[in-house]
Structure 1
């Protein structure tokens, strides 16, 4: 488990910042001017996705109410896509601040109620296939 103090500075070279700058590959589900949704490199439940704000923000306490609302709204849309594409009967939204935060860029895990099939790492071909499947089911707005 990773423990990053809340007062740690933002690292411009964290993996999500690098993905946002197109320096690292990612299996993209959805993207707009403010938020990116990608598949994580490992999962316990197939269809697990990450919702990442595009601005440099270390943790939830650095976000405004409006920013939190925008990102959380998008996370619920991911949950809807998981239900449509995978037959999930529900989903969890998980977000860590300092405790268990492996990457020092705020992000929200959207974990579907799918059968537990741990993979670490998930092959890129499977990440891309799942991203495409969720993208096709992504609601235009909810």
Structure 2
């Protein structure tokens, strides 16, 4: 059995009101289940493009739609597939290493990603059959 939890939504505090706006915040280890080592964001992704199409050996992530809408599909090695629609900036999606994931964006979407390790190309599993082989053998 995996040492990581399955993909799940994380709701961050939403502080404020319509007349003045909102802020969402978390502090280290409060809601994000790992130490954040890398932060990146994607934007201006055409709606017809599907990004992701990979899993990781080690990297845990929280994906947040800071603006717009992001549809995330996760697949575990046991075949469990879930669809998540991120469109509220105070909700993030935890994606563990064992989850193959794809993302599709509205044109105005800005995706903020919190990651547990610095970028390393060797951490990416870009072949779906390899993903199934690796993570099925560790289950």
- Whichever structure has more strand as a proportion of its residues is 2
Asked if these proteins are the same fold (TM beyond 0.5), I'd say no
Of structures 1 and 2, the larger Rg is shown by: 2
Structure with bigger helix share is: 1
TM-score w.r.t. length of structure 2: 0.30
TM-score (norm 1): 0.30
